[in-house]
Structure 1
């Protein structure tokens, strides 16, 4: 088996997944789903970088490991951190 045959099969599977998404949800639905997935990925990466930037927190390595293996964790942390910063800017400390 050549190495290019593996990639050919992979390309076919991706095309079939995109086609089934399009057939199931239509053009607008598939675009909205893909935009939602893209934003989740961006927020996941932003949450991981925010958690990695905390130098004085308890168990920073555990938080990074949790954020990699449990993808909703950094997104929830990011929303909580934005809420906490908003409260701090308004003068209402938590």
Structure 2
């Protein structure tokens, strides 16, 4: 009977340790889930910033081409004509 008592005590100790380990792992898992969510949010913010910066780059390229230089006069004229056609199209759409 003494051996059975020792065996039960040993099982109780092991069960207690396993239960503590389970609680620790659940806590760690929750921390990881929260960290993952934060990283996802940060990633979305960074993606929005990249999109915004790419739009700014495109606008700056357009402005630079419109300002033009002797080398880019033809491109500048074509761009202006394209913009005028777009404006005329918009005006025509609004007139209808």
Above 0.5 in TM-score? no
| Bigger Cα Rg | 2
**TM-score of the superposed pair, with normalisation by structure 1:** 0.36
Structure with greater helix share of residues? 2
**TM-score of the superposed pair, with normalisation by structure 2:** 0.35
